[in-house]
Structure 1
Amino acid sequence: MAHLCLTDVSVHFGGLQALTEVSFDLRPGEILSLIGPNGAGKTTIFNVITGVYRISGGQVTYDGRTISGLRPHHILATGIARTFQNIRLFTAMTALENVMVARHCRTKSSVLGAVLRTPAQKREERAVRERALAALAFAGLSDQADVVAKNLPYGLQRRLEIARALGSDPQTLLLDEPAAGLNPSESRELMATIQRIADTGINVLLVEHDMSVVMNVSHRLVVLDHGVCICQGTPAEVRSDPAVIEAYLGSETDD
């Protein structure tokens, strides 16, 4: 299984230093959470891994291959998929169509084949549909396959984003605040889904502000503050770390 590794990764935008020599690894089958105050650099790391941002220093490797500098669709093809803080579904398409779109990185049919509807293209289209239906079933959305995405309740739209990411057959899944806006029941369902994803052998990198979700599903945590990694460890180790407590609560000497 693939192993994701960030080594001394730095990112700056003009005079703003967003990340400073951040290093951590994501191991096969692991659920690793990135936590930290707002503006700590968590989503910046997601954008670095998925090729949205270029790094200013350091290196990102995946399965032993340097992926720093690759374009997002090439990184997706390596087996890294993601969701977003703000839902980014194709709102006028059905749930099934949204997930089928994710299969584009795995298809081989040419434009000519699609126009001529060759036997090979038809076989591939059936396979895409079957895989998309399987991803919807995994996310508990089988009965929503033909519903237009904008008509789904918010919680199901969140689930659909995860199903779409799974539709690309990732080995590593990046979840950016998947519990945002969910009620307690939906959050519990989300935790069960994340655990089932990891049980299939997919690595999960999670950014989440809901600490009940983070502490219940994570094997390890990486804590960021102002773009710097201040702590790594198990939930129990991180919870009691003085630097983490200060970053979240402030020190007694703070004005």
Structure 2
Amino acid sequence: MCIGMSNMAELHLHDVSVRFGGLQALAEVNFSLMPGEIVGLIGPNGAGKTTVFNVITGVYSASGGHVEYNGDKLTGLKPYQVLHKGIARTFQNIRLFQNMTALENVMVAQHSRSSCGVFGAIFRTRAQKIEEQRIKDRAMEELRFAELDEFADEVASSLPYGHQRRLEIARALASEPSTILLDEPAAGLNPAESAELMETISKISLRGINVLMVEHDMKVVMGICQRLVVLDHGVMIAKGNPEEIQKNPAVIEAYLGN
């Protein structure tokens, strides 16, 4: 599959609630992510943003409500099943295979789409060799997309921090998602690296891939997101375009005014 427009997808959260014992982590959260859209999920620390990601990707089960993707409920699915549905994610902390090359890191994600089984891998069948070359070629496409192809043979741990962030995104894209969840992708980046990240995310959207992004860097959020959803203590207090959110009194009090 060549890089291009992904299958259009819609993600909807319907009254999603999460409770951990006596703690209400999310309370009836409702919002949607439409095809090719970049939406920012913002709010103070502990607002429930990563919990939303974990519910969508099957790490946590919702105590109430449900997540719908392309008309199908994701309720009860395991993370690998959600990935096969077309939802990929990155994490707050870099989770690369540090002793593997950049190319190998991205190839790992392509193996989730591999059709060759254990027999082919053990006996190195012709079909398996063809598949392995396809996986390598696909991984290189994503490295070129992230402008990291010149570092394909470099060990991940040797790459600058900003490059490692983009490598994580390339790996997520290699799983061929129609939606990608980015958890604080600009964390730790300098202004030049943040600008490169914004360009990369814009290019992802142009491929028809939905982007839901948790981010604290307001320059990145306001500069790239079409819509914002704001959480505070697990409650959705506002949603709208960046201009509306910047003027919202509840958001200013809970988050932007800090």
Q: TM-score range by the shorter chain?
A: over 0.9
Deviation of 1:137 (Å): 0.5
Q: Where does 1:93-112 land on structure 2 (aligned, <5 Å)?
A: 93-112=100-119
Q: Where does 1:1-255 land on structure 2 (aligned, <5 Å)?
A: 1-248=8-255
Provide the C-alpha distance between the structure 2 equivalents of 1:232 and 1:130, rounded to a whole number of angstroms.
40
Q: Is the 8 A contact 2:120 2:128 kept in 1?
A: yes
Q: Normalising to structure 1: TM-score of the pair?
A: 0.97
Deviation of 1:245 (Å): 1.0
Structure 1 199/250 Cα, relative in aligned 2: closer, same or farther at 3 Å? closer
Structure 1 runs (4+) deviating above 4 angstroms are none
User: Paired residues, what number?
Assistant: 251
Provide the C-alpha distance between the structure 1 equivalents of 2:122 and 2:45, rounded to a whole number of angstroms.
48
Provide the C-alpha distance between the structure 1 equivalents of 2:138 and 2:100, rounded to a whole number of angstroms.
17
Provide the C-alpha distance between the structure 2 equivalents of 1:238 and 1:24, rounded to a whole number of angstroms.
15
SS at match of 2:28: strand
Structure 1 34/249 Cα, relative in aligned 2: closer, same or farther at 3 Å? closer
One-letter amino acid matched to 1:193: T
Q: Is the 8 A contact 2:246 2:256 kept in 1?
A: no
Provide the C-alpha distance between the structure 2 equivalents of 1:96 and 1:13, rounded to a whole number of angstroms.
39
One-letter amino acid matched to 1:55: A
Percentage of pairs with the same residue: 67
Deviation of 1:250 (Å): 6.6
Q: Normalising to structure 2: TM-score of the pair?
A: 0.96
Provide the C-alpha distance between the structure 1 equivalents of 2:75 and 2:100, rounded to a whole number of angstroms.
33
Provide the C-alpha distance between the structure 1 equivalents of 2:40 and 2:130, rounded to a whole number of angstroms.
39
Deviation of 1:153 (Å): 1.1
SS at match of 1:69: coil
Q: Report the RMSD for the aligned CA atoms in angstroms.
A: 1.0
Deviation of 1:139 (Å): 0.4
Deviation of 1:55 (Å): 0.8
Provide the C-alpha distance between the structure 2 equivalents of 1:20 and 1:68, rounded to a whole number of angstroms.
17
Extract unaligned runs of 5+ from structure 1.
Answer: none
Deviations 1:57-94 (A, max 9, x none): 00101010001220000100111000000000011111
Extract unaligned runs of 5+ from structure 2.
Answer: 1-7
